[in-house]
Amino acid sequence: MEIVILGSGSSIGVPAIGCKCKTCQSDNPRNKRSRASIMIKWDAFNLLVDTSPDLWVQAISNKLNKVDAVVYTHAHADHIAGIDNLRSFNFLKDGPLDIYGLPETLDYLEQNYSYCFEEMKSSTWYKPLLIPHRQNHGDVIELGGKSINLFTLSHGGMNVFGLRVDKVAYTTDFKAIPEDSARFLEGLDLWVIDCLKYDESPGHLSFEQSMKLIEKYKPRKAVLCHLAHELEYDEISKLIPANVTVGYDGLVINA
Condensed to tens digits (0 to 9), the pLDDT of residues 51-63 reads 999 999 999 999 9
Q: What is the pLDDT of residue 123?
A: 86
**In whole angstroms, what is the distance from residue 215 CA to residue 202 CA?**
22
Q: What is the pLDDT of residue 24?
A: 98
What percentage of the chain carries pLDDT values higher than 90?
A: 97
Residues making up the chain, counted from first to last: 255
Task: Say which CATH topology domain 2-254 has.
Answer: Metallo-beta-lactamase; Chain A (3.60.15)
93 pLDDT higher than 90: yes
Q: What is the pLDDT of residue 12?
A: 98
pLDDT band at 97 (very low <50, low <70, confident <90, very high): very high
Mean pLDDT, rounded, for 30-37? 98
Mean pLDDT, rounded, for 109-117? 98
Q: What is the pLDDT of residue 65?
A: 95
Which tens digits make up the pLDDT trace of 14-29? 999 999 999 999 999 9
Mean pLDDT, rounded, for 158-170? 98
**In whole angstroms, what is the distance from residue 192 CA to residue 221 CA?**
9
Which tens digits make up the pLDDT trace of 167-220? 999 999 999 999 999 999 999 999 999 999 999 999 999 999 999 999 999 999
User: Domain locations in the chain?
Assistant: 2-254
133 pLDDT higher than 90: yes
Distance set, CA 125 to CA 84, 91, 92, 119 (Å): 11, 6, 10, 11
> How much is the mean pLDDT over the chain?
97
3-state secondary structure the chain: CEEEEEECECCCCECCCCCCCCCCCCCCHHHCECECEEEEEECCEEEEECCCCCHHHHHHHCCCCCCCEEECCCCCHHHHCCHHHHHHHHHHHCCCEEEEECHHHHHHHHHHCHHHHCCCCCCCCCCCCEEEEECCCCCEEEECCEEEEEEEEEECCEEEEEEEECCEEEECCCCECCHHHHHHHCCCCEEEEECCECCCCCCCCEHHHHHHHHHHHCCCEEEEECECCCCCHHHHHCCCCCCEEECCCCCEEEC
